A and B are shown apart, each in its own frame.
Chain A
């Protein structure tokens, strides 16, 4: 027979770690939330289904290398080819990172602790970036491991693999900042999903329209700029410039460092929107 004794209130005299610890804990917590870890089974379905789909081309490619000694997929083109899946992942998961804290007004509870608005937003961006990077990089790593094991003729494409890996990080930062900025504008999750997907579809759909319009009017060189409307082709253009890979669009990109400048500028805009949004939310 056991009894529960009321031992009264106990004070805490253990360590109190600083804002840095809290920010890291928040980033890990948000990353787990993106993949539905520690949540219901239902919230795991979407992220894990999409992550599994992302792996399919890598598996097929490994099989092709093993059986017919051919590459079915390039490292540099992986993100562009799988862009719809990445976009759906971003649209479905970005709102889960930011919307509940705004909608249910949890933000004041964070801000009354050693966490600042800046570190709160930084943790959220870091979590979303890490999630997107995992989504893009795991298939690449898997494919590269397969290539090393199968040992095709000729040297392994290590340079292209590392280039694609670093561009995955750039793409992840661009998509995470933009996705979170869009999702944070509405506290409703459904609207957040819809607005992210709408912006992606708009940017993708406008590419062929602008491209063909310019092409038919005879501005051939200007037409190549149309590709940069879509974030995946934009980052691919940076990859072409940095790593000398072939273009994965149907035409050439405008060369030079300008696409890279646009990427940096877009990340800056997204961060500015996030900062403005959260400064307003914090002052409520």
Chain B
């Protein structure tokens, strides 16, 4: 089942085309939306929330048309904006309870859900203090909590790791992964950092200048390549020479050697060469694509 689907979605502003004929579908689970700043990620989310009309094309969220069923979509979807959006003079509890009621939850249910969700995002006693005194990491958690409080079917997270330190980033990513798996809520998360999404997404959509560059499962992005990485303690150069002699294609990559795999014989050749030269073999690893590489290749083609 598709969580969302767009068809030729285009959004033109007076001076810039933010989305250009974007046709893409997203299934359940965690989906990453990658693009540089200004690639059209935030514009896409606003259109999907029914807050911004598209110039042309159509989009459906949870099988509801964004142009006509915006109010119904917003009842079932959570949204964490990229920018700061918290008033400093209220506590996290009060704020999240209030926004739960704005999503249509009755008073007691709003209180229970807010307490639950704040616990899940990891805000303990500090949730009774004013938000003004919170760290960036805590503020991001409150922003996430308000997006989850009404138990949506799908949440849009716009740059959730922005401004976080490495540890906060790791915790936020782990939390997003939990939301997508354990909580059973589909997630569309944007980022301009590909490495982040690689760790948590099932599917990645790459857009650039409002156009779709690629949309595929994470396994396709990171599938095994036909190279093997070899690391030895010393004597990288003699090993490279020896392997070339044995008819292997070798390319140096810093202190590492990348050897193209032509068959099982390649592994034997590496082993034999290391033994013959009396080298200390540290690592022999199957090469994997990283999304960064794919992104670099794709943009190079465009």
Task: Write the residues of chain A forming the contact surface with B, with a CB cutoff of 8 angstroms.
Answer: 8-12, 14-19, 21-22, 25-26, 29, 38-39, 100-101, 104-106, 108-116, 282-283
Across the interface, B101 reaches (CB within 8 A) one of A9, A22, A282, namely A22
CB nearest to B130 among chain A residues: A40
Do A25 and B74 contact each other (CB < 8 Å), given the known contacts A105-B85, A106-B86? no
Assembly CA distance A268 to B182 (angstroms): 52
With contact pairs A9-B120, A112-B49, A282-B51 given, residues A14 and B105 touching in the complex (Cβ less than 8 Å): yes
- Asked if B75 and A104 sit within 8 Å, CB to CB, the answer is no
Once the chains are docked, how many angstroms separate the CA of A8 from the CA of B106?
A: 22
The one of B77, B88, B94, B105 in contact with A12, judged by C-beta atoms closer than 8 angstroms, is B105
B140 at the interface (CB under 8 A from A): no
Chain A binding surface SS class:
loop
Chain A residues, Cβ within 8 Å of B109 = 12, 14-15
Known: A9-B183, A12-B109, A106-B85. A22 touches B79 (CB 8 A): no
12 contacts between A and B (CB under 8 A): A16-B150, A22-B104, A105-B85, A106-B85, A109-B79, A109-B102, A110-B99, A112-B51, A112-B74, A113-B75, A114-B75, A114-B103
Q: Please provide the chain B residues from 231 to 261 with a CB less than 8 Å away from any CB of chain A in the complex.
A: none
- Verify A17–B94 contact, CB threshold 8 A: no
Alpha-carbon distance between A11 and B153 when the two chains are bound, in angstroms: 10
Q: Using a CB–CB distance below 8 Å, which chain B residues touch chain A? A: 49, 51-52, 71, 74-75, 77-79, 81, 83-89, 94, 98-99, 101-106, 109, 113, 116, 120, 146, 150-151, 182-184
Chain A minimum-CB-distance residue to B183: A9
State which of A12, A19, A22, A26 has its C-beta within 8 Å of the C-beta of B113. Answer: A12
Minimum CB–CB distance from A97 to chain B (whole Å) comes to 13
**Chain A residue, CB-CB nearest to B86:** A104
Do the beta carbons of B88 and A113 come within 8 Å of each other?
A: no
Return the contact of A8 from the options B75, B94, B146, B182 (Cβ within 8 A): B182
B102 CB contact (under 8 Å) in A38, A39, A115: A115
The distance in angstroms between the C-alpha atoms of A111 and B264, with both chains bound, is 60
Q: Shortest CB–CB separation between residue A7 and chain B, in angstroms?
A: 9
Chain A residue numbers with a CB within 8 Å of B104 are 15-19, 21-22, 113-114
Q: Which residue of B lies closest to A20 (CB)?
A: B104
B156 closest partner in A (C-beta): A112
**CA A268 to CA B21, docked complex, whole Å:** 41
- Contact partner of A113 (CB less than 8 A), chosen from B83, B84, B86, B99, is B99
The answer to whether A111 and B51 have CB atoms under 8 Å apart is yes
Is the pair B74, A113 in contact by a Cβ cutoff of 8 Å? yes
Residue of B nearest to A108 (CB): B81
The docked-state distance in angstroms from the alpha carbon of A114 to that of B49 is 11
Instruction: Determine which of B52, B71, B102, B182 lies in contact with A25 in the assembled complex, contact meaning CB atoms within 8 Å.
Output: B102
In contact, B89 and A100 (Cβ under 8 angstroms): yes
**Roughly how many angstroms separate A200 CA and B88 CA in the complex, as a whole number?**
30
Chain A nearest CB, measured from B272 CB (Å): 53
Task: Please determine whether B77 and A112 come into contact, CB atoms closer than 8 angstroms.
Answer: yes
In the complex, what distance in Å separates the CA atom of A118 from the CA atom of B81?
Answer: 21
If A22-B101, A25-B101, A109-B85 touch, whether A283 touches B77 (CB-CB below 8 Å) is no
Counting chain A CB atoms within 10 Å of each CB, the highest count among B51, B85, B184 belongs to: B85
Chain A residues whose C-beta falls within 8 Å of the C-beta of B51 in the assembled complex: 108, 111-112, 282
Docked pose: A52 CA to B121 CA in angstroms: 44
